Structure 1
Amino acid sequence: MLNVVAYIRCSTSGQGESGLGLEAQRDYIERAAQANGWNIIGEFIDVVSGKLALEERPEGKKALAICKESDAKLLVAKLDRLSRSVLHIAQLMEQVDFKVATMPQANTFQLHLFAALAQQEREFIAQRTRDALAALQRRADAGDETAIEKINNRTQALKKGRAVADITVANTIRMSKVTRYQTAIEPHLKSCLHDKVKTLQSVADCLNRKGFRTPRGSEFNATAIRRLMLALDLSFAKADKASSIQSRIG
C-alpha cells in the first residue's frame, strides 16, 4: 500500500485561488486515497500564500520531512495547493514525489504541463483584472460617481472578506486540532475510568500519571476532566456499565 502525507493549504486572503476551503480539500484527499488504496499517514495544514515555496511554509516543511523519512508521497487536493509557480513545482519534483487528488494518475510530465498552463492562465486573468481596475480608477479620478462608488465598494468588500476569511480559517484549524486531540486521548481517559475511579480529580490524577496534558500543556484538574468527559459524552455511570458488560463477556 502506498503511504501518502496529506497537505492542505488555504491562502491568507480567503479560501484560496481554487475556491477550495480546508474541509473541501480534505474531502478530495480522503476520497482519492480511498479510491486508490493509499494510506494517509499524516496531515499538515498551512494558511499561507501560494507564492511561497513549500519548504518555506511552516507545515509544508514538516510535510516534506515526513515524506522523506517515511518514503511517502505528498498528496494535495489540487496542484495549486502546492504552488502557483512552475519553478516551485519543478524544484519540488526533485525533492519528493507527489500526487494530486483531482488527477491521481497524472505522471511527472503531465503535472509539469498542467502547472505551466495554470500559471499562464492566472497571469492572463491577473493582467485583465489590472487593466480593468486601472480603467475604473481613471474614470473615478475624472469624477465619475459610478466609478468612485465601485472603487469604494470593492475596497470595503476586500477588507471585510479578509477579516471574515481569517476568522473562519482560524476557527476551522482550531476545531480540527481539538478533534484530533480528543480522539487521541479518549482511549486513555476510558482506561482511567475503567479503573473504577469515582471522582473527577482521581481521573485527572490518572491521566497526569500517564504523562498526558491538556491542549494548553497544563496538568489535568477536575474542571478540565469534566469538560473533556462532556465533550466525549463519557460518564462514570457509562464506564461502570461498560466494565460490567466486559466482565460478563470475559
Structure 2
Amino acid sequence: MVRYVGYLRVSTQRQGTSGLGLEAQQSALIAHASRSAGHIIETFVEIESGRRSDRPQLQAALHLCKLTGATLLIAKLDRLARSVAFIANLMESSVEFVAADMPYANKLTVHILAAMAEYEREAISERTRSALRAAKERGVKLGGPNKGANLRNCAPSLGGQRSKEKADQMARSLLPIIEEARRSGKSSLREIAEFLNERGILSSRGGRWWPSQIRNIFRRVGVD
C-alpha cells in the first residue's frame, strides 16, 4: 500500500479558520489515495502566502516523508508555489511528490507548468505597473471611486504587446516537452498535440491542444 503525507495550503488566516478551500483540497487527496489504493498517514495544513518559501508545515511534511518513505500528496500544483526555483528545490530533495490533479506529470511537465504560472503572475504585476505609469503620464488621477475604470482605460494600448509577449513566452516554455514528444516518435502536429493532452497540459485558452496550435508555436519560435 502506498503511503502518503498530505499537504494543504490556503493563503489567508481567514480561509484557514473558516475551512474555505481546505475541504475541496482534502476531498481531492482522499480521492487520489483511494484510486491508488494508498493511505494518508498524516495531513499538514499551511496558512501562508504562495510567494513565500519558508513554510514550516511543508518542511514538517517533507521531514515525515523522509522518515517514513511516504510520498507527499497535494491537491494541485499551485498549492505548493508559483515559483520555478521553489519547485526545483523541492524536486531536488529526496522526497517524491504527486499532485492529485496531475498524477502522471513527470519532472519536466512540472517545471514547465511552474514556469508558465510564474510568468503569468509576473506578467500581471508588470501590466498593472505599466498601466499605473501610463495613467500618471497622461495626468489620470488614480485615487477615488473611478480608479479601476481609469486603469482599464489606460490598459488597451498595452494589451496587444503584452499578449504577444505572453504567447511567445509560452511557446518557448513548451519547446522542451515538444522535443520530448519528438524523441518518443511523435512527429506530426496531431501526435504532438495528443502528447500534450495526455499529460494534462492545457492550452493558452485552458482547453485541449489542436494541430493548428502546435503549428503556431513552431512559427513563433522558428522551428520547422
* Runs of 4+ displaced beyond 4 Å: 13-16, 133-139, 141-144
| Contact 2:75/2:100 (8 A) holds in 1 | yes
Displacement of 1:133: 4.5
Residues 9 and 22, structure 1, Cα contact 8 Å, conserved in 2: yes
The 1:46–1:138 alpha-carbon spacing in structure 2 relative to 1, beyond 3 Å, is farther
**Is 1:125 aligned to residue 124 of structure 2?**
yes
2:85 is matched with 87
Aligned-pair distance for 1:52? 2.0
- The one-letter amino acid of 2:76's match is K
Deviation at 1:32, TM superposition (A): 1.6
- Report if aligned partners of 2:13, 2:47 keep a CA contact under 8 Å in 1: no
When the two chains are superposed, the root-mean-square deviation of aligned CA atoms in Å is 2.8
Q: Aligned AA for 2:126? A: Q
- Partners of 1:58 and 1:137 in 2: CA distance: 41
Where 2:24 maps in the other structure, the secondary structure is helix
Question: d(CA) in 1 for partners of 2:34 and 2:132?
Answer: 44
Q: Distance in 2 between matches of 1:83 and 1:151?
A: 30
TM-score by length of 1: 0.51
Q: Distance in 2 between matches of 1:73 and 1:24?
A: 20
Q: Distance in 2 between matches of 1:105 and 1:8?
A: 20
- 1:7 touches 1:76 (CA, 8 Å); kept in 2? yes
Correspondence 1:52 to 2:48: no
Number of residue pairs aligned between Structure 1 and Structure 2: 145
Query: Take 2:102 and 2:74, find their aligned partners in 1: how far apart are those partners?
Result: 10
Larger Rg: 1
Q: CA deviation at 1:131?
A: 2.9
Structure 2 unaligned spans of 5+: 150-224
Q: CA deviation at 1:41?
A: 0.7
SS in 1 for 2:102: coil
Structure 1's unaligned 5+ residue stretches are 154-250
Higher helix share: 1
Q: CA 1:45–1:133 in 2, change beyond 3 Å: closer, same or farther? A: farther
After superposition, residues 5-24 of structure 1 pair within 5 angstroms as: 5-12=5-12, 21-24=21-24
CA distance in 2: counterparts of 1:92 and 1:143, whole angstroms: 44
The answer (yes or no) to whether the contact 1:137–1:151 under 8 Å persists in 2 is: no
CA distance 1:59–1:143, change in 2 (3 Å): closer
Identity of aligned residues (%): 45
Offset of residue 137 of structure 1:
6.2
Distance 1:6-1:126 versus aligned 2 partners, 3 A rule: same
Cα distance in 1 for residues equivalent to 2:65 and 2:146: 47
Distance 2:148 2:108 in 1: 45
- 2:63 corresponding residue in structure 1: 65
Q: Which residue of 1 aligns with 2:40?
A: 40
- Aligned residue for 1:102? 101
Alpha-carbon deviations, 1:153-186, whole Å to 9, x = none?
A: 9xxxxxxxxxxxxxxxxxxxxxxxxxxxxxxxxx
* Equivalent position of 1:148 in the other structure: 144
CA distance in 1 between partners of 2:124 and 2:60 (Å): 33
Q: Following the alignment from structure 1 to structure 2, what is the Cα–Cα distance between the partners of residues 24 and 138?
A: 45
